[in-house]
Amino acid sequence: MIITEQTIALLDQTESLADLIEASESFQTYIATKQARAQSEEARLVEREFLRMKEDYEYVQRFGKHHPDHDRIKKEMHLVKRRLDVQPEVAAFKKAERSLDKLLGEVSELLAFSVSPKIKVPTGNPFFDEGGCSGGGSCGGGSCGCAI
């Protein structure tokens, strides 16, 4: 790649955009909730328990319903997952993470669509993407329901 004045200007603008994102409320909330989650002893305990249970669950899943502890492990896994999801610091972090992810997705879409409305932008969450092709545009084949 040949570095030109235009490339340098583009990199400078990219740094400015990154600074704006870091100054945003979404990013600041994300950082604060990430630190709160890391400092919470209760959150760390539930996360460790979840990871241990996840290992047991993955082991049992290899054998499926034929494993004698399948039903018990599956039930315990769901209970621990639920405890993790409702743990206050973890729940706040996940909410902040989704908010930041949404902001980054919107920025990605704005950048991509300013170049061409046909660019596919992966937002990472197909259940919440608007439009058939990860936020808009045409995927060409129409297999995802997009108009060609």
Reported as a single tens digit per residue, the pLDDT across 25-44 is 999 999 999 999 999 999 99
Beta strands in 14-79 (DSSP E): none
Higher-confidence residue of 141 and 114: namely 114
Average pLDDT across the chain, whole number: 86
Specify the pLDDT at position 44. 97
Q: pLDDT tier at 124 (50, 70, 90 boundaries)?
A: low
CB 47 within 8 A of CB 90: yes
Task: Compute the average pLDDT of residues 63-90.
Answer: 94
Torsion over CA of 106, 111, 117 and 123, rounded to 10 degrees? -40
Torsion over CA of 87, 127, 17 and 97, rounded to 10 degrees? 0
Specify the pLDDT at position 143. 42
Q: pLDDT tier at 2 (50, 70, 90 boundaries)?
A: confident
Of 40-54, 109-123, 131-145, minimum mean pLDDT range: 131-145
Sequence-distant (≥ 6) Cβ neighbours of residue 146 within 8 angstroms: 131, 132, 133, 137, 138, 139
Question: What is the share, in percent, of the chain residues with pLDDT greater than 70?
Answer: 82
Specify the pLDDT at position 126. 64
Q: What is the C-alpha to C-alpha distance for residues 5 and 112, in angstroms, rounded to an integer?
A: 22
Sequence-distant (≥ 6) Cβ neighbours of residue 139 within 8 angstroms: 120, 132, 133, 146
Task: Compute the average pLDDT of residues 51-77.
Answer: 94
Higher-confidence residue of 2 and 102: namely 102
Task: Compute the average pLDDT of residues 111-139.
Answer: 66
26 HSE (CA, 13 A, CB side): 17
Q: Is the pLDDT of residue 138 over 60?
A: no
Q: What is the C-alpha to C-alpha distance for residues 52 and 75, in angstroms, rounded to an integer?
A: 14
